[in-house]
Structure 1
């Protein structure tokens, strides 16, 4: 091989002038930018200050605050006044209740006194009536005896019969109340039982039992003090006392009360004699 033969070179091939120029321009631009930035230096942050204006209390705001305080005070006064009014109303209601209770108590006491006075007056009137009727009965009995007696037998009560008749007549005017045995109201058998107690005779309480006692007598031969009955003997539904002169005394019903009536007013079924 010739010493002048071509041997590949190890050097880098030269770049074209256009490429070199391009690279140089880019690099220069970059470096120029860096240089400008460096010359300028880091930017200093400028402090930010902002002033906030606070509202000032002007005359209008001061008036509003004063009005609010005055309104609050007025509400407090109103509440206090309401509380006082409520307390006064409660006291008035309590006083009225106490006054009413006292008035009711006085009215009740007055009514009780009136009732007691009325009862005393009725008792006095009854006693007076009894005395008058006893005198009249004695006079009538004497007159009947002089006349030979009545068609119903003897009309003058004597002995124990007089006490029975006097008690029965003394109750005339009293009320009739079923089941009552006195002293101011009676039923028929209650009156007969109480009248016979004046003669020391204890009768049963029921009219049917009372009519079963003693001895049967004719209605034409009655004597004062005989027990009259209506219905069958031992099964009677009503009883009364023969008081002489053709009359009887009995607790008839709630409409008439205790009355003295002639036998013709309500003719009895029969009679029994215990005296």
Structure 2
């Protein structure tokens, strides 16, 4: 046997035991590791135990029947854990983790909607509402939107900076279905729904979601709400696709939400004699 064995990683104090030979003392010294490495190793073990307990708690029937290997490598999930993630993905919320992923210390939250601000897209593959929103947000030239609706004479939209967003939401909610869903479509487009499965960019929510029953239940609720919002917007998309001229109603709803124009205060210029008279009146 060579000292120290490469497979052994633990933390042992170096004690001056007289009965040990010099080679055995060297072996013990070689087993000492950095405390940070030891702590990281213990946290990794805790993570694997937590994932196994969650699997057993959330899917007891599947856990009992599972034949997946529980063996895990450094910085990699076991087959059993990947099986657990698949069950979450299929039954609870969007969680596309595969075997190539590194160890997930927290629950990664992936957006289920495209981010037109950062992701590339093909114009011809977009639906009518996506094209309209890109035009209204000035991410696409309005002429391009007009070309997409060449059979319809579109009114000119006001700039986003002139929109009173509170008034916009009120105006939308006062409209009949599905036109009242327009403000939801804008919120999803701007990623301002307060839903992690829509607003999330680059796993910014990961540190907030630890592996626990409570977090998984909360994320499941968020996911259900996100799907419900998407379904509402899809109703609006279908409504516009069936009759493209309805896009005019959407733009008019947008334009009605303009910020009120503040009138400039009128300033009356008076001469010094009148000013003296005014002060005299006030004194009396």
What is the TM-score when the length of structure 1 is the normalising length?
A: 0.22
Larger Rg: 1
Name the one with the larger strand percent. 1
What is the TM-score when the length of structure 2 is the normalising length?
A: 0.21
Higher relative contact order (CA 8 A, sep 6+): 2
